Amino acid sequence: MMEPSELRNRFSGVIAFPITPFKKDLSLDIDGLRANLQKLVQHPICAIVAAGGTGELYSLTPDEQLRVVKTTVEETAGKVPVIAGVGFGQQLAIEMAKQFAAAGASGILAFPPYYPNADEEALAGYYRSIGEATKLGLLIYSRDWANFSPAAVEKLSKIPTLIAWKDGQGDIRRLQMIMERIGDRLYWIGGAGDDLVPGYYSIGIRTYTSSIATIAPKLSLLLHECASSSGTARLAQLMKDYVVPLYTFRARRKGYEVSAMKCMMDILGMSGGPVRPPLPDVRPDERKELEEMLKTWKPVL
């Protein structure tokens, strides 16, 4: 088992958020997942999230989630830490965390619970129970309705196993306030998208979660390298040429943040497959746009 402090020390650079490939009948494509991971771990990413948001966590059954985590642990073979996503409700999240720890995961990423109207005290109980379920390092994913005040994050920071905060809000102003209040008690991870790398790194963050790493780990790593050094001109060019056009496409329909990545993987000969409803697949005419986009991506693939 990886100690929470060891996992925290491994964070620097790009955390990959792989998709979960499905077959045409929407069943799991485990062989495809293995092939994707074999390519991914050839690049110096610092961690992989198994069954995260890009991995369609909420569309998977508990058994499928466990299979995805086990497969990811097997294929990474200790090369990079595997962080397993949990969520839904408290008891299910606890059960999932325990199973994933037994399967060899290095850490737990806690998604918001199913109930969107919980107050801060009740939410704290949810996260605390997940943190107490295992000895693994815990990461909290602030996204959707789980949007915390600096004071609330300070209370959550009392959870002994909590090591990192993954921001999925993209609110740089509030994040700065949180970071100022909590300091280095937590490790700060930019988690709202590759397109926010310039903003995150401008306030001192040096690790971000990347869905682009699914198809172009080289580009994800270049974004990190340029943003963490003096390569501002190069970073701006990478954003203009690759990242912003992709995120503009993804913003067309809710769910395209996953569908577009899967479609691009299929175009590149990797294993993507369809998404499960209620996410929408990329329309056939729009697939042609992604094909043209990828022709310009050759330098960063």
How far apart, in whole angstroms, are the C-alpha atoms of residue 271 and residue 53?
17
Q: List, as own/partner pairs, every contact residues 221-228 make where C-beta atoms lie below 8 angstroms and the sequence separation is at least 24, other chains included.
A: 221/13, 221/14, 221/43, 221/44, 221/45, 222/300, 223/14, 223/194, 223/197, 224/13, 224/14, 224/197, 227/197, 227/198, 227/200, 227/201, 228/201
Identify the residue whose tokens are 């409803």: 277
3-state SS class at 213: helix
Q: What are phi and psi of 289, to 5 degrees?
A: -65, -40
**From the candidates 127, 141, 187, 242, which is the catalytic residue?**
141
Helices (H) and strands (E) in the chain, counts: 13, 8
3-state SS class at 14: strand
Q: In b/e form, how buried is each residue of 146-180, taking b as 16+ CB within 10 angstroms?
A: bebeeebbebbbebebbbbbbbbbbebebbeebbe
Report the greatest alpha carbon distance in the chain. 50
3-state SS class at 60: coil
**From the candidates 70, 127, 166, 200, which is the catalytic residue?**
166
Contact 106, 2 (CB under 8 A): yes
166 is catalytic: yes
Contact 163, 8 (CB under 8 A): yes
Structure tokens, 194: 């590759």
141 is catalytic: yes
Residue 34 belongs to what H/E stretch?
helix 30-40
Which residue in 199, 193, 168 sits closest to 260, CA to CA? 193
Residues with catalytic function? 141, 166
